[in-house]
Amino acid sequence: MSAVVTALHRYPVKGFSPDTLAAVDLVAGETMPFDRAFAIENGPSGFDPATPRHLPKMLFFCLMKNPALAEVVTRFEAETQRFTVAERDGRVVFDDTLAGEAGRAALAAFVARRFPDEVRGTPRTLAASGHSFSDVSKKVLHLVNLATLAALGAKLGEPLDAIRFRPNVIVDGLPAFAELEWAAGVRVTIGGLPFEMVKRTERCAATRVDPARGVRDLDIPRFLMQTLGHTDCGVYLRCLADGTIAVGDTVTV
């Protein structure tokens, strides 16, 4: 069976739920457009939009520290930068554009109201042109292999939702754990677009959070260490050329 892309996701506001995409246009050396384009600092982070730099995720609202963020469902519209937040029952509780300071301030205020137990300082929504508030400093896409998750889930005795691992690209058809054998620099082609392997993804406590309920239920890092002897699951890829990838694209290594 050929390996194929089964889903594409981006996470416009760090810590919140993903957008699901049918296709995405990529630029060489960049992340998915609007992936982690916004983050909400939980008290002063020292981030300067004029000179953006990578900062530890602990300075921002994130699932690792704030699992309650998964209690809501979010949607982002790239053309207008409109961000919508709904409760699990469908009630819309925030709807504004993040293109300007007013909408970003409104989002920060909403987060303070909706998640008061998570607030450690005054929330502020941050953004900087071309910057991604990713967990890693390099501009990459995160790939997760469904066969690996199925094999791990069988050992764990629980099915593992791929969203728990915050992927940009989900693939099926690769052998289980095959991606963990790729060396740095290995070329991966998705729908004709070239990528290179950067490194394996070391999992943190964010994977303990059930993305459908917003509660910590599985100690994935400990399980990975006990099962595999390390805490890696998924890989980071760097895009090497401008182009488009889409659900259904063939993946070759």
pLDDT in tens, 138-169: 999 999 999 999 999 999 999 999 999 999 99
pLDDT (average), residues 54-83: 96
Q: What rounded mean pLDDT belongs to the chain?
A: 96
Q: What is the pLDDT of residue 9?
A: 98
Residue 177 domain-assigned (yes or no): yes
C-alpha span between 130 and 126 (Å, rounded):
12
pLDDT (average), residues 186-214: 95
Residues 70 and 152 in one domain: no
Residue 232 domain-assigned (yes or no): yes
Residues 110 and 12 in one domain: no
Q: What is the pLDDT of residue 200?
A: 97
Range of the domain at 50: 39-126
pLDDT digits (tens, 9 = 90+) for 88-112: 999 999 999 999 999 999 999 999 9
C-alpha span between 22 and 41 (Å, rounded):
30
Residue 34 domain-assigned (yes or no): no
pTM: 0.96
The fraction of the chain above a pLDDT of 90, given in percent, is 98
pLDDT beyond 90 at 129: yes
C-alpha span between 187 and 123 (Å, rounded):
41
The fraction of the chain above a pLDDT of 70, given in percent, is 100
- From 126, 153, 187, give the residue that closes a domain: 126
Nearest to 210 by CA among 158, 169, 174, 249: 158
**Encoded tokens for 81:** 């930068």
Residues 148 and 24 in one domain: yes
Q: Quote the number of domains for the chain.
A: 2
